[in-house]
Amino acid sequence: MSIKNIIFDLGNVLFLYNPEKIIKSLLPETKNKQEYLEKLFLNSMWINKLDKGLFNHKEAKEYLTKTVNLNLEKTMDLCKLYDNWVYHLDIVNGSKDIFNSLLENNYKVYLLTNFQDEPFDRLIETHPFLKKAHGEVVSAKVKMLKPEPEIYEHLLQKYQLVAEECVFVDDKKENIDAAQAMGIHGIVFESSEQFSQDLKKLAVEF
């Protein structure tokens, strides 16, 4: 059965996600990089509450100001990082080129990502090429996370996709393993060049 649909993860596939670089960009003079990594980007809130849609933006800000025990200056820094991190994701240009080429060659393209609700909407507005996708499933919006089987099933049902006609690319092997368990072809992303070659191995022409 031929591939008709290519499903993209976002982080470290279409966009580089590097919290240390984000901190350096937004707070170049800070001496508190490690603390901010731990209090925000590595905080269990990030995945368990934000990515899963259990906290909205306002609730996250309240958590940062009231629960994370920091002084006023550091709290303001954390809020600046949280408000602006999504604007500091560098595009993986080779992957964007593949994304656009697939569309030009009449493949359907979808997004499946563990991502926060409001930051995802900002990302779409900042990078309009994402609007060309035929659909998306965002973890915070559906309150499911990869690699939970339910999120893959949700994507297939929402867009009436046949698993065997889909290939999913993600940088995490456990997410690809879960997709393959549903019958979806999988590619573990290492580079845009490798991604391109693996698509061609699946007879995807673009």
The total number of residues shown for the chain amounts to 206
The residues near 4 (Cβ < 8 Å, ≥ 6 apart) are: 107, 108, 162, 165, 166
DSSP per-residue codes, 102-146: HHHTT-EEEEEE---HHHHHHHHHH-GGGGGSSEEEEHHHHT--T
Q: In this predicted model, what pLDDT tens digit does every residue of 169-204 receive, in sequence order? A: 999 999 999 999 999 999 999 999 999 999 999 999
Residue 92, SS3? coil
Q: Higher confidence at residue 142 or residue 44?
A: 142
Residue-averaged pLDDT of the chain: 96
Domain ranges of the chain: 5-16+90-201, 19-88
5-16+90-201 falls under which CATH superfamily?
HAD superfamily/HAD-like (3.40.50.1000)
Q: Which amino acid is at 180?
A: Q
Q: In this predicted model, what pLDDT tens digit does every residue of 55-69 receive, in sequence order? A: 998 898 888 888 888
